Amino acid sequence: MDKFTVLSAVAAALPEANIDTDKIIPARFLKTTQRTGLGKHAFDSMRYRPDGSENPDFVLNQVPWRKAEILITHENLGCGSSREHAPWALLDFGIRCVIAPSFADIFFNNCFKNGILPVCLPRDVCDALMGDAAMGSNARLTVDLPRQVVIRPDGEEVPFEIDPFRKHMLLEGLDDIGQTLQHEGEIKTFESQVAQERPWMPAISID
Amino acid sequence: MAPRTLFDKIWDHHVVETLPDGTSILYIDRHLVHEVTSPQAFEGLRLAGRRLRHPEMTVAVVDHNVPTSDRSQPIEEPESRNQIETLERNVKEFGVPYFPLLSANQGIVHVVGPEQGISLPGMTIVCGDSHTSTHGAMGALAFGIGTSEVEHVMATQTILQRPAKNMRVTVEGTPGAGVSAKDIMLAIIGHVGTAGGTGHVMEFAGSAIRGLDMAGRMTLCNMSIEAGARAGLVAPDDTTFDYVKGRPFAPKGDDFDKAVAYWRTLSTDEGAHFDKEVTLRAEDIAPSLTWGTSPETVLAITDTVPDPALEQDEAKRAQMVRMLDYMGLDAGQKIAGTPVDVVFIGSCTNSRIEDLRAAAHIAAGRKVAEGVRAMIVPGSGLVKRQAEEEGLDKIFLDAGFEWREAGCSMCLGMNPDRLTPGQRCASTSNRNFEGRQGPGGRTHLLSPAMAAAAAVTGCLTDVRELA
Ligand code: SF4
């Protein structure tokens, strides 16, 4: 996983609440067996017209936001299905940071697992950042994870909160599995305890 | 010890270790795997040279992509076929127990788990699918996870989690005629909203819940995710134990008795703290359905479509206007009498034998209305077989319904079962998002009996008029 430290990039505004994972990546594109390649279908129903051509009114089809690496939305981003294809599609499109007043639980989690930083900021701050984003490439936003600030084009710094463990994982580009396996001893102890306390739990085998 | 909720107890029994920042390593008893959210996880294991820590606590099944028509033919869509074949290669390579497509045990993962006795009370159960909440009906802590977490569970049999908050939804009283678990759940979602349970595990309690059979409890827990909850829970009781007894993978004999003794300890203690409480009366709930593209847009079948002009909040008003436009409905019109094109009875919400019986009861001796396509998709091969033994297939076929093979089907339209733009569907599934059942499709969520009523009258109908 790529490390996330300081990102200075074009930001795109999608001023909508409840953008669900079906909208981020519709079910018909979930047939892949890989993590990559979904970027071209991100926001498919908003990005393309029924005949398959690009919808010129959609922000991610416009210059300079075609190259946006930061996405700003309204409340409850990523609600609906647990599909990790949603953050994969965003990442494959080039998005490394999503900013919103609130996120759905599973999507929020899934972002971290893919090196995408979800930043939770109050609605009025998001609206102000959307104003910056509207200025396009003249107004890059900088997301500084070590210092936990978003730096606006005029230099104003907006602080944000992040769980220290998750921050560490993002900064180092670490995956959870390696971390958890360091607790092998505790897991083994737990397993032998359960084998005594709940011995009736059957093993599954299907011939 | 301070009084604890059911959630607290299951949680406490599964914490391996709590890390300094408050995250816990939570032990997982059952990991259910399907073809859509697993290939990248197996690939990750392979790249890192890892194996499954406990394949015997894992079960795989194909459901999302499978055709629900003739299974003697090869699968036509090459990408669907590839995903299914990839799962078959992976389960072989990693030694994962698997129900193949042609097995009578195949079906929707959330139907198969309880039906086989794989999902048991007191367990922690995960699956790369948000409707894993269904298994909470067993009195298990069950929730959906992303693919990276699927890989994490495969490699470590644990997951990193912070404890959820506790919420209790109490429904007291006796539901009236025509009111099923689906109607109760739609009423709850309509009441608390789609974010009402965010960050919470939702325990269902009260006499109306106790009175539900296991299928009904599964319907409730299934849609707790539509109320934003992390998971749904019903405390296990004699109804649960009777259901579990004798299932293929349930404990047997002496082990079963020991298990029941433990399961009986799994209920919320008197005086335990809930962060949020909601109470409804069953008598106030009518046969219900959704009118918009969010599961919280719930109406009684006797209601009229709401008028955005009466909504104070500007953003909500705009959303309502958009939903009415998408759904092709007018403010103030009676929802009953709206013509439908398609009826879908199936999905992990409502495809169990009890659901099919309820639909057959309405369909018996009637005919599907002219121009309506009505399909029944049983939740598993076993449900299908039982329905056939009871003669339900004959009732449906005589009435003009399609009688199909088990799978997710038109719930999400990954297989060929899809709506075309503008088609209106009365559906027993759980999500009515724009395009969920096919691009441009219009979904009304409702109970199996209400869906059958729509099929035979050709329009959204109060099932009480047909009973
Ligand atoms: S039936 Fe629908 S909701 Fe249930 S698992 Fe399948 S796709 Fe998901």
pLDDT tens, A74-97? 998 998 888 899 999 999 999 999
Is the domain of B106 the same as that of B177? no
In the chain, the amino acid numbered B191 is H
Cβ atoms of B153 and B37 within 8 Å: the answer is no
Q: Do B97 and A205 touch (CB under 8 A)?
A: yes
pLDDT tens, B107-118? 999 999 999 999
Cβ atoms of B296 and B309 within 8 Å: the answer is no
What was the pLDDT predicted at B69? Answer: 86
Percent of chain A exceeding pLDDT 90 equals 75
* Atom 4 of ligand 1, nearest CA residue: B348
Rounded Cα gap, residues B295 and B445, in angstroms: 8
Chain A residue with CA closest to B65: the answer is A31
- List the one residue out of B115, B105, B88 whose CA is nearest residue B33: B88
Is the domain of B94 the same as that of B10? yes
What's the gap in Å between B379 CA and the centre of ligand 1? Answer: 10
Of B50, B146, B194, the CB nearest to A106: B146
CB < 8 Å to A187, chain B:
16, 25, 27, 156-158
CB < 8 Å to B230, chain A:
105
- CATH classification of A6-174, choosing from 3.40.50.300, 3.30.1330.10, 1.10.3720.10, 3.20.19.10? 3.20.19.10
Is the domain of B387 the same as that of B449? yes
Task: Report whether pLDDT(B424) > 90.
Answer: yes
What was the pLDDT predicted at B292? Answer: 97
Q: How confident is the model at residue A202 (pLDDT cuts 50, 70, 90)?
A: confident
CB < 8 Å to B262, chain A:
198
What was the pLDDT predicted at A106? Answer: 86
What was the pLDDT predicted at A207? Answer: 76
Of A34, A76, A165, the CB nearest to B19: A165
How many other C-beta atoms are found inside a 10 Å radius of the C-beta of residue A174? 13
Strand (E) or helix (H) holding B46: helix B39-48
Tell whether B219 lies on the interface with A, counting CB pairs under 8 A: no
B64-68, B380-384, B387-391, B424-428: the lowest-pLDDT one:
B64-68
Residue A77 to chain B, least CA–CA distance (Å): 12
Is the domain of B176 the same as that of B247? no
Is the domain of B120 the same as that of B231? no
The mean pLDDT of B28-53, rounded to a whole number, is 95
Count of domains observed in chain B: 3
User: What are the residue boundaries of the structural domains of chain A, listed by start?
Assistant: 6-174, 175-207
Task: Report whether pLDDT(B104) > 80.
Answer: yes
What was the pLDDT predicted at B37? Answer: 93
What's the gap in Å between B266 CA and the centre of ligand 1? Answer: 28
Q: CA neighbours within 13 Å on the CB side: how many for A94?
A: 14
Q: Facing residues of A202 across strands?
A: none
Is the domain of B66 the same as that of B105? yes
CATH code: domain of residue B275: 3.40.1060.10
Domain that holds residue B135: 6-161+237-258
Cβ atoms of B429 and B375 within 8 Å: the answer is no
- List the one residue out of B413, B415, B433, B406 whose CA is nearest residue B351: B406
Is the domain of B251 the same as that of B349? no
pLDDT tens, B210-246? 999 999 999 999 999 999 999 999 999 999 999 999 9
Is the domain of B13 the same as that of B98? yes
Residue A155 to chain B, least CA–CA distance (Å): 31
Q: Do B249 and A165 touch (CB under 8 A)?
A: no
Q: How confident is the model at residue B439 (pLDDT cuts 50, 70, 90)?
A: confident
Task: Report whether pLDDT(B20) > 90.
Answer: no
Is the domain of B429 the same as that of B293? yes
Compute the mean pLDDT over every residue in chain B, rounded to the nearest whole number: 96
Q: Confirm whether residue B348 is marked as ligand binding.
A: yes
Is B51 domain-assigned?
yes
Task: Report whether pLDDT(B353) > 90.
Answer: yes
Q: Strand A141-144 vs strand A6-9: parallel, antiparallel, or unpaired?
A: antiparallel
- The position carrying tokens 């998001």 is A126
pLDDT tens, A95-107? 999 999 999 888 9
Q: How confident is the model at residue B316 (pLDDT cuts 50, 70, 90)?
A: confident
Q: How confident is the model at residue A137 (pLDDT cuts 50, 70, 90)?
A: confident
Is the domain of B221 the same as that of B252? no
Percentages helix, strand, coil for chain A (3-state, rounded to 5) are 40, 15, 45
Rounded Cα gap, residues A133 and A65, in angstroms: 9
CB < 8 Å to A199, chain B:
255, 258
Cβ atoms of A120 and A98 within 8 Å: the answer is no
Is the domain of B153 the same as that of B38? yes
What was the pLDDT predicted at B65? Answer: 87
A62 vs A50, residue with greater confidence: A62
CATH code: domain of residue B12: 3.30.499.10
By CB atoms closer than 10 A (0-12, 13-18, 19+), residue B137 is buried
Q: Give the list of residues 6+ apart from residue A99 with CB closer than 8 angstroms, or none.
A: A11, A70, A71, A72, A73, A118, A119, A121, A126, A129, A150
Is B1 domain-assigned?
no
Is B303 domain-assigned?
yes
Is the domain of B130 the same as that of B248? yes
Residue A5 to chain B, least CA–CA distance (Å): 21
Of B40, B151, B198, the CB nearest to A105: B198
Q: Do B23 and A202 touch (CB under 8 A)?
A: no
Tell whether B29 lies on the interface with A, counting CB pairs under 8 A: yes
pLDDT tens, B169-202? 999 999 999 999 999 999 999 999 988 998 999 9
In the chain, the amino acid numbered B201 is V
B66 vs A146, residue with greater confidence: A146
